[in-house]
Every structure is written in C-alpha cells, then in structure tokens.
Amino acid sequence: MTKILSGLAIAILMMSTAGVARASTTDWGYISYVAPVHGGYVYFQVTGGNGRTALPSCAAANQPNRWVLDLTNPLDQGMLAVLLSAYAMRKPIIVYGTGTCNSWDPTELVNYFHTGSE
C-alpha cells in the first residue's frame, strides 16, 4: 500500500509540473524598435547585453528578443509610457516575462521591467 501511495504521489507531482511555463528575463539592454499593431498590442525588441534567458515554449525561437504589451490591460498602458520614455532617452532596460503568450501570437507577454543604469 505504501509503494502504491508513493508512486501515486510521484505521478501527481510530475503531472503538476509538466505544463509549467518558464518566464524569461533579459540582461541589461536597449530597446531597438517599438511597433504598435492593430488590436491593441505593442511589440518591442531589446538588444545588447548578454541576451535573454531560455524562452518559454510558446515563444518563437526566431524572435528571441521580442516582447509584447497588451494595451487592453490598463497596467500595460502605464508600462508603455515608461517604455517609450526609456526608448526616447536611450536608457537601458531589463524585462521580465510572464512565461505566457497570446493564443495566436508566439511572443512572450511582459510581466514587468525596470530601467536605469547598468
């Protein structure tokens, strides 16, 4: 009975961690482009520094430095204002992702970021 319960506990633990998304992070870098698109989204790219940690499985490998803000969310609207200021002033930025993408887009959503000095 103990072996069955131990095996069941291990199986449940493995199943609960199998689908966990991995959020990625950039090193200090600079915003190289900002692209607002129809539907309320703004894409931007961070280049320089030592790159980005491992992409979540939903993100496109051919766009490793691209992030997206969802402007239907008021918090992301506030982040866009800071992002555009950092872009205009050429301030370095570190971005932290959510580990998730929109169902139709292979770009990781931004959780938060900060700007400042390297």
pLDDT digits (tens, 9 = 90+) for 29-85: 999 999 999 999 999 999 987 888 888 999 998 888 999 999 999 999 999 999 999
pLDDT > 70? residue 6: no
3-state secondary structure the chain: CHHHHHHHHHHHHHHHHHCCCCCCEECCEEEEEEEEECCCEEEEEEECCCCECCCCCCCCCCCCCEEEEECCCHHHHHHHHHHHHHHHHCCCEEEEEEEEECCCCCCEEEEEEEECCC
pLDDT-based confidence at residue 117 (cuts at 50, 70, 90)? confident
**Domains along the chain?**
21-115 (2.40.50)
The pLDDT value given to residue 16: 39
pTM of the model: 0.77
Mean pLDDT value of segment 91-118: 91
